[in-house]
């Protein structure tokens, strides 16, 4: 079974630029999560989707971050414009349902200069 | 909001030692996860617990719901066990089901 795929693996941008991350969850997984992990800290949930609907985006900085999962499969997370403090690893995870084990992708490491 | 505390933050041990990592949380939960994160960012789910004890190979995870505490044990530790171990909980009571994470325990096993 293929795991959660994310791209790109690494991204370096300057502040005020825009960036987008892509996630392809495990086939059949209805629940998809985006996490932000700043160096030295545990992951923080940014947004949770159930199929193509948003379950929780309370910690998403909506003035600059947006995410979508239009067809209930792949998802994109966008930052526009980026700030220095957005430098982090962005992890995507998926699960069969919201009560099941989450499987994590390899993450996208973002550096904002 | 659930507060998740892990201890120790950093642990260095010799190969073969028995390792214990602790996790405590402040609010009732429906599930607790132990995750392993290797350098480079990849995260692997080790256990999902709601009660009792689970064992997989040299790894053992226990949880005490009354005391709001869980432990992860590694027997006969090996350098390849070197990683960050993260505890994460799903709070009970419904609502959104995202996890609350501890800050992780950085484990180094020296040969």
Nearest residue to A102 via CA among B38, B34, B58, B6: B34
Token pair belonging to B49: 């617990």
Six-digit token string for B102 = 């501890």
**Which carries the bigger pLDDT value, residue A79 or residue A52?**
A79
Has residue A13 got a pLDDT over 90? no
Q: Which one of A42, A56, A103 has the shortest CB-CB distance to B101?
A: A42
Backbone angles phi, psi at A76, to 5 degrees: -125, 145
Mean pLDDT for chain A?
91
What percent of chain A has a predicted confidence (pLDDT) above 90? 70
Q: Is A48 on the interface with B (CB under 8 A)?
A: yes
For chain A, the first-to-last Cα distance in angstroms comes to: 37
Give the confidence band of A105 by pLDDT, cuts at 50, 70, 90.
Answer: very high
Minimum CA–CA partner of A106 in chain B: B42
Contact state of B101 with A55 under an 8 Å Cβ cutoff: no
Asked if pLDDT for residue A101 goes beyond 70, the answer is: yes
pLDDT (mean) for A60-78: 94
Query: In a 3-state reduction of DSSP, which class is residue B104?
Result: coil
pLDDT at position A23? 97
Measuring CA to CA, which residue among B101, B17, B96 is closest to residue B58? B17
Q: Name the 3-class secondary structure at A30.
A: coil
pLDDT beyond 80 at A1: no
pLDDT score of B22: 98
Q: Would you call A75 an interface residue with chain B, using a CB distance cutoff of 8 Å?
A: no
Which residues does B4 contact at the CB level (< 8 Å), separation at least 6? A42, B23, B24, B25, B26, B87, B88, B89, B100, B101, B102
Average pLDDT of each block of 10 consecutive residues along chain B (111 residues)? 90 97 91 86 83 94 95 96 92 64 94 95
Count Cβ atoms within 10 A of the Cβ of residue A14 and give its class: 0-12 exposed, 13-18 middle, 19 or more buried: exposed
Residue B2: predicted pLDDT:
75
B85 three-state secondary structure: strand
Distance from CA of A15 to the nearest CA of B (A): 23
Number of C-beta neighbours around residue B44 at 10 A:
12
Option in B41, B45, B97 nearest A101 (CB): B45
For chain B, say whether A45 makes contact (Cβ under 8 Å). Answer: yes
């Amino acid at each position: 079974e293929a795991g959660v795929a994310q791209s790109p693996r690494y991204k370096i941008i300057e502040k005020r630029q825009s960036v987008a991350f892509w996630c392809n969850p495990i086939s059949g997984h209805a629940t998809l999560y985006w996490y932000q992990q700043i160096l030295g800290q545990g992951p923080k949930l940014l947004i949770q989707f159930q199929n193509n609907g948003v379950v929780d985006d309370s910690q998403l900085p909506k003035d600059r971050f947006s995410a979508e999962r239009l067809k209930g499969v792949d998802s994109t997370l966008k930052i526009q414009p980026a700030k220095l403090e957005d430098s982090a690893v962005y992890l995507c995870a998926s699960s069969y349902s919201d009560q099941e084990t989450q499987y994590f992708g390899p993450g996208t490491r973002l550096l904002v200069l | 909001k659930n507060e998740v505390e892990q201890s120790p933050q950093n642990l260095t041990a010799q190969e073969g030692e028995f390792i214990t990592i602790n996790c405590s949380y402040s609010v009732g939960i429906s599930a607790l996860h132990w995750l392993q994160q290797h350098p480079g960012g990849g995260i692997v789910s080790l256990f999902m617990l709601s009660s009792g004890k689970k064992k997989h190979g040299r790894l053992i995870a226990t949880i005490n719901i009354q005391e709001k505490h869980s432990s992860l044990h590694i027997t006969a530790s090996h350098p390849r066990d070197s990683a960050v171990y993260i505890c994460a909980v799903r709070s009970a009571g419904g609502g959104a089901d995202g996890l609350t994470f501890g800050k992780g325990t950085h484990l180094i096993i020296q040969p």
